[in-house]
Structure 1
Amino acid sequence: MARRSGSQTREAIREAATRLFTERGYADTSVRDIAARAATDPALVIRHFGSKELLFLDTMHLSIDDEPLLDVPLERLGARFVEVLLDSDARTRAIYLAMVQGSGHPQIAARLRETHETSFVQPLRVRMGGDDAEDRARSAAALVGGLLYSLWVVGDQRLAADRDGLVERYGALLQRLLTP
């Protein structure tokens, strides 16, 4: 077998970690598992990334595709935002779940807070007016977080069963915060 360069080894570790973290979550993925999947030594995983937590932070980036939200008038953003969340792909859900599961680790919790700010709070605040825009944006982000928790962490199938009804009801709740 040909010997890999350091950058090739690093990329193989990154690919293996991404796959395992999204399949199993943070807690159920070991450095040994990552090394085995990358066909390398566990010591090289630590050498290249410093720790499992730092490797997790290097590979797990959560973002919501906001393209479908850019041209939606603020008066219709609530329902459309819920639709975009419901249409999120399996990778986005897996990364979100891995981040929630790993949130007991300070750096992962910090990444989750950063994602909350950049993916939810800031984009909403920018589109809203009024003296209380900051508070309403944070409340709206919390409402969205509750929906993600119910659907993706708890797996509430009954809530998800009526997609159109969920978009209508939850979108209306979100809309009340966006445009009171």
Structure 2
Amino acid sequence: MSTVTSTRSGGSAATRQAIGRAARRLFHEAGYAGASVRAIAAAAGVDAALVIRYFGSKEGLFLETVAIRGRFDDVTNGPLEGLGRRLVASLLQDRPQQTFDTWRAMLRASDSDRVRERLIAAMEEMFIVPLAPRLTGTRAELRARLVAAQISGLLDAVAILADRRITEASLADLVELYGDSIQALIDRTD
């Protein structure tokens, strides 16, 4: 029995999962443009038509399989005191390679309106929604957005630019210096 036949006979859920696993791996390895529907289908052991059948399009497959949602939920829902340092520590210590790979894949595909909208929505969900209502003082929503922008900037410096002066700095220094700059936005009361 061929891989395609056995995957199909295993049910649509197994086929969908196989395609999702292959897509995640190829999008992380080759980026959005470099991962073709045919290559994803081949890696999953299915016909390319099944990719479209289950996900609608390459863009739909990307949006469903490459996600950063929920990445900081445990941190952003915690106490505001020391949040800046905890955000930086979480970013650089908790599954950093997975986060960096996902960030790279999302940015490479951000020329797609739907992907860009999903990236903005993910930042909203991860930072603005949990933080803005809890911040005291003026311009709380803007400050929450700037926290998201600072996390994006650190991700860019480490995952995209691979700035050696940052990537080779000690974790303690990055957590202290960058975390305290984020904390200044969180703590501001005027």
Q: Please report the TM-score for the alignment, with normalisation by the length of structure 2.
A: 0.86
Secondary structure of the residue aligned to 1:40 is: coil
Unaligned residue ranges in structure 1 (runs of 5+): none
Which deviates more, 127-136 or 145-154?
127-136
The aligned length equals: 179
Q: Which residue of 1 is the match for residue 35 of structure 2?
A: 29
CA 136–65 in structure 1, closer or farther in 2 if over 3 Å, else same:
closer
Shift of 1:31: 0.5
Once superposed, what is the RMSD of the aligned Cα atoms? 1.7
Task: Give the counterpart of 2:176 among 168, 176, 179.
Answer: 168
Counterpart in 2 of 1:50? 56
8 Å CA contact 2:22, 2:43 repeated in 1:
yes
Query: For residues 129 and 150 of structure 1, what CA distance do their matches in structure 2 show?
Result: 30
Matched, 1:40 2:58: no
Distance 1:99 1:115 in 2: 11
Q: Distance in 1 between matches of 2:121 and 2:159?
A: 19
Greater Cα offset, 29-38 or 84-93: 84-93
Q: Which amino acid in 1 is paired with 2:83?
A: L
> Which AA in structure 1 matches 2:64?
D
SS in 2 for 1:26: helix
- Equivalent pairs: percent with the same residue? 43
Amino acid at match of 2:24: T
- Taking structure 1 as the reference length, the TM-score comes to 0.91
Question: 2-side partners of 1:86 and 1:10: how far apart?
Answer: 31
Distance 1:100 1:50 in 2: 21
> Which aligned pairs between 1:1-180 and structure 2 lie closer than 5 A?
1=1, 3=6, 4=8, 5-63=11-69, 64-68=71-75, 70-72=77-79, 74-89=80-95, 90-161=97-168, 162-180=170-188
| 1:101 positional shift | 0.7
Runs of 4+ with deviation above 4 angstroms:
none
Instruction: Give 1:68 shift.
Output: 4.4
